[in-house]
Amino acid sequence: MSDVKATRQAYGEALAKLGGENENIVVMDADLAHATMTKFFMEKYPERFFNAGIAEANMTDMAVGLAEVGFIPFVSTFAVFGTGRNFEQIRNSVCYPKANVKLAMTHAGISVGPDGGSHESIEDIALMRVLPNMTIFCPADAAETEKALRAAVAIEGPVYIRLSRMTTRALPEQDFVPGKANCMREGKDTAIFAYGTMVERALDAAEMLKADGIDAAVYNFHTIKPLDVETINECAAKYQQIFTVEEHSIVGGLGEAVAGVVAETGACRVKKIGVNDKFGQSAKPEELFEMYGLDAASVARQIREVLK
Q: Which tens digit of pLDDT belongs to each residue from 157-191?
A: 999 999 999 999 999 999 999 999 999 999 999 99
pLDDT on residue 2: 53
174 belongs to a structural domain: no
Cβ pair 77, 86 in contact under 8 A? no
Distance CA 161, CA 10 (A): 12
189 belongs to a structural domain: yes
User: Of the candidates 148, 169, 190, which is a domain's last residue?
Assistant: 169
Same domain, 103 and 40: yes
Same domain, 84 and 226: no
Domain count, the chain: 2
Cβ neighbours for 257, distance < 8 A, ≥ 6 positions apart: 129, 224, 225, 227
176 belongs to a structural domain: no
127 belongs to a structural domain: yes
pLDDT on residue 308: 84
Same domain, 289 and 237: yes
Same domain, 275 and 155: no
Q: Model's pTM, two decimal places?
A: 0.96
Distance CA 115, CA 119 (A): 6
Same domain, 12 and 126: yes
Total count of residues recorded for the chain: 308
Q: What residue ranges in the chain does DSSP mark as E strands?
A: 4-6, 25-29, 49-51, 72-76, 102-105, 135-137, 159-162, 167-169, 182-185, 190-194, 216-220, 223-225, 241-249, 269-275
Same domain, 242 and 106: no
Q: Just list the catalytic residues.
A: 56
Same domain, 38 and 67: yes
23 belongs to a structural domain: yes
DSSP 8-state class, residue 242: E
User: Of the candidates 144, 169, 194, which is a domain's last residue?
Assistant: 169
Q: What is the span of the domain harbouring residue 226?
A: 182-307
Does an H or E element contain 59, and which?
Answer: helix 56-68
Same domain, 77 and 121: yes
Cβ pair 26, 73 in contact under 8 A? yes
Q: Which residues of the chain have pLDDT under 70?
A: 1-2
Same domain, 27 and 128: yes
Q: What is the CATH number of the domain that holds 47?
A: 3.40.50.970
Cβ pair 244, 231 in contact under 8 A? no
247 belongs to a structural domain: yes
Q: What is the CATH number of the domain that holds 193?
A: 3.40.50.920
Query: What distance separates the 2 farthest-apart alpha carbons in the chain?
Result: 60
16 belongs to a structural domain: yes
Distance CA 239, CA 308 (A): 15
Same domain, 199 and 136: no
Same domain, 156 and 199: no
Same domain, 34 and 157: yes
Distance CA 131, CA 58 (A): 20
Burial of residue 297 (number of CB atoms within 10 Å: 0-12, 13-18, 19+)? middle
Query: What distance, in Å, lies between the first and last C-alpha atoms of the chain?
Result: 41
User: Of the candidates 107, 138, 169, which is a domain's last residue?
Assistant: 169
175 belongs to a structural domain: no
Sheet hosting strand 182-185, strand order edge to edge: 182-185, 216-220, 190-194, 241-249, 269-275
Cβ pair 42, 27 in contact under 8 A? yes
pLDDT on residue 149: 98
